[in-house]
Chains A and B, each alone.
Chain A
Amino acid sequence: MDSPLPDKIPRLQQAISVLWPSFAVAIVATGVFFSAFHPRDLVPFNLDIDVSPLAAYSIGFFLFWILGILSSCGTMYFIISNRRVLSKQQN
């Protein structure tokens, strides 16, 4: 390593790295998913719910976003903890 890795990433950039890629992926996933499936035909866990298509798309989008956020959080956690280990070794 030429320069020591910082073990801190500013909060804003952490937030961007987690929220932004998952947001973009959620848009694509929502588009693909709801092109293939009509919300009318989706009855999760046999629940008797009546939602408008716009509500279904929106809820679907947020579910995809949450999944992406969870995944990105995992990546961020590993990056940060790896940096701590590396910077400990360097010092």
Chain B
Amino acid sequence: MQSQNTDTAEPTLYAAHRKIYPREVSGYFTRLRMLSVVVLLGIYYLIPFLQWDGRQALLFDLPARKFYIFGLILWPQDFIYLAALLILAGLSLFFFTALVGRVWCGYACPQTVWTEAYLWMERKIEGNRSHRMKLDKAPSSAAKIRTKVIKHTIWIAFSLWTGFTFVGYFTPIDELGNRLFTGNLGPWETFWILFYSFATYGNAGFMREQVCMYMCPYARFQSAMFDSDTLIVAYHPERGEPRGSRRRGVDPKQAGLGDCIDCSVCVQVCPTGIDIRDGLQYECIACSACIDACDEIMDKMSYPRGLIRYTTENAAFGKPQRILRPRVMVYATILLILCGILVGHLLQRVPLELDVIRDRNTLYRETNEGLIENVYTLKILNMDSKPHRYILSAEGIDGMKLVLDQSEILVEAGTVGRLIARIQADEYNMESRSVPVRFHLQAVEANHLLTTEEARFVGPGKN
């Protein structure tokens, strides 16, 4: 049976999408947002070209399974550091949200940043809000098709550059560039460049505010981090209401009106298409375009600025404001502790790993002198950016002897060295059939490069 529900009865969450044409706006916060957009895009597009020690400074080299983060080289076994970094990023988002609301959404989120960039291109090509609306409504003509083709060509070119840069974070970008210009791109590199380009083109060109409304988990749960002292963008209803149009020079008090002239500019500039005068809404990304727009109108009307402004719920209701409150301090404390742990671990991290593998074929062997001998293969992983020579020592059984096929081993940077080690010990010095022994590996002329690994020494056992 068909349901009786019609589209109009659907909750707003699933309202049919209508295209939003954000009106251009200027002012303090808009300049701040533009600055943020330029800086963040600059960082994104330029960082892969940065060099460090003769290699790409920031490279998540997937084929080689090594992450280069400036002076730091992370291996798959350092996975925990990346996980910790992600947790820290998440916690910082909590902290800053509690303190200053959705500044991330309005100024730093890649979705906002790329949408602003694509909107800027759209404005340059199709003109201002009313021009764009007129163009979209107009029947197709040669001029309309030409404008649209130009816009999409430029968007696609910018998207491809974005996709190329993205892949350049995972495979050395100069080699990638060479392969691109000589037509030797690998199939998967090509695929990922196109995939990321398509995602950028779709998200920044078409999806825009729908990403924030339907795809962003943060938008859904950010209210959990908000309290009455969190910075929000809000309309001042006591001052603005009753809203209404009036001629310039008319005293609003005499006309029985508030300061809001109901010009709807705040709605026209909104990238998510909401009316801020309806109160705090989850669609609001706190971009503050409406603040700049309204301030401009207030200036024209010779009213004081700030009918729409950054405020807190407490400030809006005349209650005392607190910046340092338990929520902020708890987030800050957890953040600081985790930062401390991460930095401490990174400082103590020894870029050296030793793997000890016992000979699988024979448990033990008796030498001509009547000693018990165990054979081990040692894998030495030099995770440093320089080659090192290492010395091995071992302890654990009284009077034991360590026999090596070479006294020192040279391991190149980022490679694995192999060493065969034999331990010989007198059976009478063994407390049981299997006793622990410890291998110490130490780099020559680099005292901090030291690691210890435990292994088992097996003998025939006491009778």
A binding-site residues for B, Cβ under 8 Å: 3-4, 6-10, 12-13, 16, 20, 31-32, 34-36, 38, 52-55, 57-58, 84, 87-88, 91
Contacts and interface: CB of A to CB of B under 8 A. Distances in A.
B5 A54 contact: no
Contacts of B191: 58
Given A6-B10, A13-B14, A13-B214, A57 B62 contact: yes
A88 B5 CA distance: 11
A10 B63 contact: no
Contacts of B76: 34-36, 38
A54 B14 contact: no
A11 to B, nearest CB: 11
A4 B188 contact: no
A6 B16 CA distance: 13
A25 B68 CA distance: 24
A55 B188 contact: yes
Given A36-B79, A38-B76, A54-B189, 7 more contacts: A3-B11, A8-B5, A10-B14, A32-B79, A54-B62, A88-B3, A91-B4
Contacts of A20: 215
B65 A54 contact: no
Interface string B1-21: 101110001110010110000
B5 A58 contact: no
A58 to B, nearest CB: 5
A4 B65 contact: no
B28 interface: no
Given A53-B62, A54-B62, A91 B188 contact: no
B82 to A, nearest CB: 8
A10 B186 contact: no
A53 B63 contact: yes
Given A35-B76, A87-B5, A54 B11 contact: no
Contact of A6 (B5, B63, B214): B5
19 contacts: A3-B9, A6-B3, A6-B10, A6-B14, A7-B3, A8-B10, A12-B17, A13-B14, A16-B215, A20-B215, A31-B82, A34-B76, A38-B76, A54-B62, A54-B63, A54-B171, A58-B192, A88-B3, A91-B3
A63 B65 CA distance: 20
A24 B65 CA distance: 21
A23 B324 CA distance: 38
Interface residues of chain A: helix, strand, loop or mixed (majority): helix
A65 B295 CA distance: 47
Contacts of B171: 54
Contacts of A52: 63, 186, 188
In the complex, the 10 A-B pairs of residues with the closest C-beta atoms, listed nearest first: A35-B79, A53-B63, A6-B10, A7-B3, A54-B188, A35-B76, A87-B3, A58-B188, A6-B5, A20-B215
A10 B62 contact: no
Interface of B: 1, 3-5, 9-11, 14, 16-17, 62-63, 65, 76, 79, 82, 171, 186-189, 191-192, 210, 214-215
Contacts of A8: 3, 5, 10
A69 B327 CA distance: 37
A60 B3 CA distance: 42
Contacts of B214: 13, 16
Nearest to A91: B4
Nearest to B6: A6
B62 A9 contact: no
B21 to A, nearest CB: 20
A91 B2 CA distance: 10
B84 to A, nearest CB: 13
Contacts of A6: 3, 5, 9-11, 14
Contacts of A35: 76, 79
A18 to B, nearest CB: 12
A27 B362 CA distance: 43
B272 to A, nearest CB: 16
B4 to A, nearest CB: 6
A10 B210 CA distance: 13
Contacts of B1: 88
B255 to A, nearest CB: 39
Contacts of A16: 214-215
Contacts of B14: 6, 9-10, 13
B173 to A, nearest CB: 15
A7 B7 CA distance: 10
Contact of B5 (A4, A34, A36, A57): A4
Contacts of A55: 187-188
A54 B323 CA distance: 48
A53 B65 contact: yes
Given A12-B17, A13-B214, A54 B186 contact: yes
A28 to B, nearest CB: 9
Nearest to B63: A53
A38 B192 CA distance: 21
